[in-house]
Structure 1
Amino acid sequence: MSKVLQLRSERAELNTKLQALAKLEADGTNLSAEQLQEFTTLEAQIADLSAKISRAEQAEKAAALSAVPVDEGAQGKQSPPDGRIEGPFTEKQVPGTKMAQMVRLLAAAQGNQQAAAQMAKDGNFGADVHMALSTVTPGAGGVLVPTNFASDVIEALRPTSVLRKMGVTSLPLNNGNLTMPRITGNTVVTYIGTEQDIPLTGMTFGDTKLSAKKAAALVPVSNDLLRMSGVNPRVDGLVANDLTVSMGLSEDLHFIRADGSGVLPKGLRHWAIAQHVLPAPVDPNLAAIDLFLGGLMLRIETANVMMASCGWLMHPRTLRWLQSLRDGNGNKAYPEIDQGQLKGYPVGLSNQIPVNLGDDGNESEIYFVNFADMMIGEDMDLVIDFSKEAAYKDGAGNMVSAFQRDQTLVRVIAKHDFGPRHLECITVGINVKWGAGM
């Protein structure tokens, strides 16, 4: 970290303490003699740091003015003769980076919005980050993320969540609810003879109702990263990755298999109608397996579903077993798996599909879905909270102290729901034991 950024970070910490004392007095609390003395000391320290920052900035400017072009001949590249650096140099913003910067600054400022906004301004973060931190409003014990930053997180989730990656449709939840009409029965056109009455026909309709369900992810972030308050794309990428991976795993877990009871959304497994749930063959020979996979596809094809956006979901164990299958000549039964497809359709892998189902705890499931008909209704209001003292359970179920690990816990709360436009667009293969011995 540069000297200027270090001094700015120290000044922001002192300003946070100063603002806390000022707020006490503004709320009607009479400051004690010790608090008044601390206030005066903080003012002097901030003024001293401001003067040091000013001198350090002047020194950096002077150093920049005295810089000379570097001959890059050793790398096979020569500087232009007039010393200019040719461009343009535009680097694509990675989705989620701005949100990560906002989270990092708020966590470093322990949730103090004013201090975080000042750190953004002093640290040469983007103007949009500074403005967002200046205008965010308190949520239920946390900070309400601006809509444009929430959209940034949703975009980052697309390559992380397997369901989003497969092409589900994202829709806004106005006031937390959305009702989508769906056709459950089509009109029938028939041929009639002379002087015959035209038979009556009609369409029947149903509704898919989505209502916001609260989802929360707890993300531990190293305080060493948070102390790097300057603009650092590697650090921002790590924070953004932690946030989106945790949220993406939670989405897949519930959008695939949650039963819709209580506060949970209903996932694919429980939206599927009974006729579209098929048991895997007991004898997993190639002919039986091929017939079973074809049967899953046939259920959707005979429902007059547009097949352009269909695909498979399965656990990696299932796919690797299918990849190992050979025909009677020793050739791969499904060579297209090497290109990420099965029977002409893309395959999505998720560890959120269990492999410990059934009486013996060795069964899994396989899904064939028209993803264009799957909907995620999203309330764009994300809320984030911070704690340096809380404890959490790690992946192994062990309790971990954030204070002892020198971490800051970031809790992200989102609201959304999941559902299909047509129930016939989902088929599920159950009792899949393939690869259990691998």
Structure 2
Amino acid sequence: MSKVLQLRSERAELNTKLQALAKIEAEGGSLNAEQLTEFTSLETQIADLSAKITRAEAAEKAAALAAVPVDEGAQGAQSPPAGRVEGPFTPKPVPGMKAGQMVRLLAAAQGNQQVAAQMAKDGNFPVDVHMALSTVTPGAGGVLVPTNMAAEVIEALRPVAVLRRMGVTSLPLVNGNLTMPRITGNTVVTYIGTETDIPVTGMTFGDTKLSAKKAAALVPVSNDLIRVQGVNPRADAIAANDLVTSMGLSQDLHFIRSDGSGDLPKGLRHWAIPQHVVPAPSTATPTLQQIDLFLGGLMLRIESANVVMNSCGWLMNPRTLRWLQSLRDGNGNKAYPEIEQTLLKGYPVGLTNQIPVNLGDDGDESEIYFVNFADMMIGEDMDIILDFSKEAAYQVGGQWVSSFQRDQTLVRAIARHDFGPRHVECIAVGIGVKWGAGM
């Protein structure tokens, strides 16, 4: 461990003790003489460590600037023999791995962050995991995941949540709210004759308001996995995946199709204006010309709104894409060969089973979305709350399961976020899609 990281870790431990004393007065109590002396001593030690850290950082920087490669001598740098690749090598970090380590340690410590921090220190976990656990704050009976870990979890969600993968913009929610102004009407410039009054024009504005909605996931984690000692990449990856999968699938479900009622966010389907909701050809086996006109019509709705098309893409159920992939023209050639590269009419396709295939009166319809994803926003409160229990029960398919009997620890993850577009004209929805219903 570098000297700087060691000093930072010592300072974090002292700060924890200092905050505990400060909390006594914050809650209306008073410090006795011994506690006041300890408080003053902690202040002095923290100040001394901060000065040492500054000097150690300067020394490390100077050492790095003065370093000479080991293969460099009087004759200059010596190249390695052809065909040989030299190390040492640093493994590429896996998104969500440190968050998974934090979940595993907190679960083993039953949510006690100080015990988890000591376990991280004794188990040779990365220093930033130890420091995060040392300074993490309890809230409402749970543990608030620090911002750096929360950002890592959100990054790990991208492969799971198709909307994030398609390039939706993520923004912080300050105090749980965000208002984004948007232009709803532009000025108009026209030509006039000589000695003619210039017509008055103006702009109109609107707002997209995001307010934090609470999303929760209950994740059973095997106690055998929690008992794995030390840093184990496979165990940590499983813990991270357990944490993010349910959250990612829930976000897709609500950000795509939720109607915004009650405590739910409003999804793409209900943000779309009526003019941009287009019925598909009514037959289950339309002609290629009908399909092409329908898909082109969805694209035209976005183009007619003067949307920059660089970040557009499709969302659909896998059933729909596989049916389009099987289409042939009159010569037997694939109608949309670019589907092999997960493209349709030149734009990327996101597949998700969170778009149903059992809509409509006969339960055989689905939907297709064409969206400018750069204009979509996910507002996020970066604090994720984790709670742990080895005794609680949970339901699976209507059946109650005892975590104690199954030798599991339940991890409850709660996050706060909302979803909305800057411009509602950037969403087009095809409804009544029966293609592939017989596959």
Give the TM-score normalised by structure 2.
0.79
In structure 2, distance between residues paired with 1:326 and 1:316: 18
Corresponding position of 2:136: 136
Give yes or no for the alignment of 1:386 onto 2:403: no
1:239, CA displacement in angstroms?
Answer: 1.1
- Please give the alpha-carbon distance, in whole angstroms, between the structure 1 residues aligned to 2:213 and 2:321: 32
- Specify the SS of the correspondent of 1:129: helix
2:33 is matched with none
**Counterpart contact for 1:105–1:229, Cα < 8 Å:** no
Amino acid at match of 1:221: V
Tell me what 1:348 maps to.
350
Q: State whether residues 213 and 265 of structure 1, in contact with CA within 8 Å, keep that contact through their aligned partners in structure 2.
A: yes
What is the aligned partner in structure 2 of residue 199 from structure 1? 199
Alignment of 1:92-131 (within 5 A): 92-131=92-131
Q: Percent identity?
A: 83
1:274 maps to: 274
1:290 aligned partner: 292
**Does residue 1:358 correspond to 2:360, yes or no?**
yes
| Superimposed CA distance per residue, residues 129-162 of structure 1 (whole angstroms, 9 cap, x where no aligned partner) | 1111111111112101111111111111122210
Write the distance in 2 (CA, Å) between the matches of 1:117 and 1:104: 12
Match of 1:321 in 2: 323
Tell me how large the CA RMSD over aligned residues is: 1.2
For 1:383, the aligned partner's letter is I
One-letter identity of the residue aligned with 1:140: A
Deviations 1:2-56 (A, max 9, x none): xxxxxxxxxxxxxxxxxxxxxxxxxxxxxxxxxxxxxxxxxxxxxxxxxxxxxxx
User: In structure 2, how many angstroms separate the alpha carbons of the residues matched to 1:163 and 1:291?
Assistant: 26
1:210-246 superposed Cα distances (whole Å, 9 cap, x missing partner) = 0000011111111111000310111111111121111
- Which residue number in structure 1 is paired with residue 247 of structure 2? 247
Amino acid at match of 2:365: E
Secondary structure of 1:405's partner? coil
- Provide the aligned length of Structure 1 versus Structure 2: 353
The answer to whether structure 1 residue 421 and structure 2 residue 425 are counterparts is no
Tell me the secondary structure at the aligned position of residue 170 of structure 1. Answer: strand
Letter in 2 for 1:403: F
Q: CA deviation at 1:86?
A: 6.0
Alignment of 1:307-318 (within 5 A): 307-318=309-320
Using the alignment, how far apart are the partners of 1:150 and 1:319 within structure 2?
34
CA distance in 2 between counterparts of 1:113 and 1:207 reads: 41
Kindly report which structure 2 residues correspond to 1:15-414, keeping only aligned pairs within 5 A, or say none.
Answer: 87-283=87-283, 284-394=286-396, 396-414=397-415
Q: CA deviation at 1:87?
A: 2.3
Code of the residue aligned with 1:216 in structure 2: it is: A
| 1:287 alignment partner, SS class | helix
Please, which moves more after superposition, 413-422 or 243-252? 243-252
Aligned counterpart, 1:5: none
Q: Secondary structure at the match of 1:360?
A: coil
1:325 counterpart letter in structure 2: L
Q: Provide the rounded CA distance (Å) in 2 between the counterparts of 1:425 and 1:397.
A: 39
Cα shift readout 1:341-369 (whole Å, capped 9, x = no counterpart): 00000000011111111111111111000
SS at match of 2:110: coil
What secondary structure, in the 3-state scheme, does the structure 1 residue paired with 2:404 have? helix
Unpaired stretches in structure 2, ≥5 consecutive residues? 1-84
Query: 1:437 is matched with which residue?
Result: 438
Shift of 1:88: 1.9
SS of 1:312's equivalent in the other structure is strand
How far apart in 2 are the matches of 1:211 and 1:155? 21
After superposition, the C-alpha distances for 1:388-431 in whole angstroms (9 at most, x for unaligned) are 1222233x443322222221111110000000000000000011
2:68 aligned partner: none
Name the CA distance, whole Å, in 1 between partners of 2:338 and 2:393: 46
What is the CA–CA distance in structure 1 between the aligned matches of 2:192 and 2:158, rounded to whole Å?
51
Point out where structure 1 has 5 or more consecutive residues left out of the alignment.
1-84
Deviations along 1:174-207, one digit per CA (max 9) or x if unpaired, are 1110000011111111111111111111111100
- On the 8 A contact 1:169/1:375 being kept in 2, the answer is yes
The letter for the 2-side match of 1:102 is M
Match of 1:182, SS state, is: strand
SS at match of 2:240: helix
- Contact kept in structure 2, 1:402 and 1:408, CA below 8 Å: yes
Please give the alpha-carbon distance, in whole angstroms, between the structure 1 residues aligned to 2:324 and 2:94. 35
Q: Shift of the alpha carbon at 1:98?
A: 0.9
| Structure-1 separation of matches of 2:138 and 2:208 | 33
Equivalent position amino acid for 2:411 in 1: V
> Which amino acid letter does the alignment assign opposite residue 306 of structure 2?
N
SS of the residue 1:404 aligns to: coil
Note the C-alpha offset of 1:102: 0.6
Question: Would you say the 8 A contact 1:257–1:266 is kept in 2?
Answer: yes
Q: Name the SS of the counterpart of 1:220 in structure 2.
A: strand
- The aligned amino acid for 2:125 is F
Deviation of the 1:334 alpha carbon: 0.6
Mapped partners of 1:420, 1:89: distance in 2: 43
Residue 299 of structure 1 aligns with an amino acid whose one-letter code is: R
Q: Secondary structure at the match of 1:382?
A: strand
TM score, norm. by length of structure 1: 0.79
Q: Distance in 1 between matches of 2:259 and 2:323?
A: 28
**2:4 aligned partner:** none
Q: Secondary structure at the match of 1:88?
A: coil
Aligned AA for 2:415? A
CA distance in 2, matches of 1:116, 1:310: 44
